[in-house]
Amino acid sequence: MKIEGTIALVTGGASGLGEATVRLLCSRGGRAVILDRPQSNGEQLAASLGKQAVFAPADVTSVEQVEGAVGKAASKFGTVHICVNCAGVGAAMRTITKEGPMPLEIFTKVIEINLIGSFNVLRVAASQMAKNQPNADGERGVIVNTASVAAFDGQIGQAAYSASKGGVVGMTLPIARDLASLGIRVCTIAPGTFDTPLLGLMPAPQKEALATNIPFPHRLGRSEEYAALVGQIIENAYLNGETIRLDGALRMPPR
């Protein structure tokens, strides 16, 4: 699917990986619906991109708000061809702490946002994509989810985060098979350690320490590199049902 002329729904689109994806798609002739929290930078980002973007404030775990965001995309631009799920949260806590077991609500919240939120958005977006006229290759849409290398190499304290991202990896192939008859492809990117706002407040020495474990390139990943892979997935019609690690050959140690 060519990016030019497409409409994309990008969750977490106001910053980090999502913002880089929005900017790349718009720079290549696409248009974007930026789905992010009301207090995010989404409105300002959309304004800076002009007619190519619109902000749709929403919580990815809300059925009504996600349906509203997809509806806004359809009414503003006509439909949705691409869905990129970048919204997510992290939580670092051991299963048992000095105060007792990890509070279940922490585990539940991470699963709700990272896994259930991703499915909530993609199921609604796919329903809209199914109404599209297929292109010459029979494609109606492309969905790109975001997992993490923690899905495979979870560290101490990452039980909730790893479980949520492992779930995203696990649902990739069955959803790709579910949607194959509709001409909708589904892939997942599993980033390694990226220099995103999540690490923005971390002191430079700590960032440098994180980079020491990355074989090559010997640095943190850049949001633009994630966005570039999204673009390649969209335009390569034979990529489907796959999870792609984007990590500089990193394999996370236990801590």
CATH no. for residue 38? 3.40.50.720
- Tally of structural domains, the chain: 1
Report, as ranges of residue numbers, the positions in the chain whose pLDDT lies below 70. 198-203, 206
Task: Please name the amino acid found at residue 153.
Answer: D
The tokens of 226 are what?
Answer: 């994630």
- Would 214 be classed as within a structural domain? yes
Catalytic pick among 55, 77, 107, 161? 161
Question: How many CA atoms are closer than 13 Å to the CA of 67, on its beta-carbon side?
Answer: 3
DSSP SS3 for 63: helix
- The verdict on residue 254 lying in a domain is no
Give CA–CA dist 29/174, Å, rounded: 31
Q: Examine residue 252 and state whether it is found in any structural domain, yes or no.
A: no
Asked, for residue 163, whether it belongs to a domain, the answer is: yes
Structural domain contains residue 212: yes
Tokens of 110: 């991470």
What pLDDT, on the 0 to 100 scale, is given for residue 211? 82
Tell me the residue range of the domain where 73 lies.
7-246
| Residue 238 a catalytic site member | no
**Amino acid of residue 11:** T
**In the prediction, which pLDDT does 180 show?**
98
Q: How far apart are CA 170 and CA 147, in angstroms?
A: 10
> What does the alpha-carbon distance between residue 164 and residue 151 come to, in Å, rounded to a whole number?
8
> What is residue 152's predicted lDDT score, i.e. its pLDDT?
96
Q: What is the pLDDT of residue 234?
A: 98
pLDDT at 68: 94
Please report whether residue 62 resides in a domain: yes
pLDDT of residue 224: 97
